[in-house]
Amino acid sequence: MSSRSSSSTWSREENKRFERALAVYDKDTADRWHNVAKAVRGKSVEDVKRHYDILLEDLRRIESDQVPLPIYKSSGASKVVSTDEEQS
């Protein structure tokens, strides 16, 4: 398997192009992964398939509550409010 230096890292713009391509080329599209790779630019078919598999695994973990929710600062206050904390 050949590897390009850019294959493992994805820029914000590449991720945006990837997401747009997934919306355009759904699972029933012929040559879906070839089209997605072409739309992303600079990634191989194997790269976009791997990236998609990682996305699916991330979604599975989120939906099964295996990923903790982030802690956000409340606006205008210095107190940090977690999602588990009761807000009044």
- Report the pLDDT value the prediction gives residue 79, as an integer from 0 to 100: 56
The confidence score (pLDDT) of residue 42 equals 94
Is 78 in a helix, a strand, or coil?
coil
- Separation CA 43–CA 25 (nearest Å): 16
The residue extents of the domains of the chain are: 7-88
Supply the pTM of this predicted model.
0.67
Neighbours of 76 (CB within 10 A): 5
Q: Could you list the mean pLDDT of each consecutive 10-residue stretch along the chain, which spans 88 residues?
A: 58 97 96 98 97 95 85 70 50
Is 43 within 8 Å of 6 (Cβ atoms)?
yes
CATH of the domain spanning 7-88, picked from 1.10.10.60, 1.10.1740.10, 3.40.1410.10, 2.70.170.10: 1.10.10.60
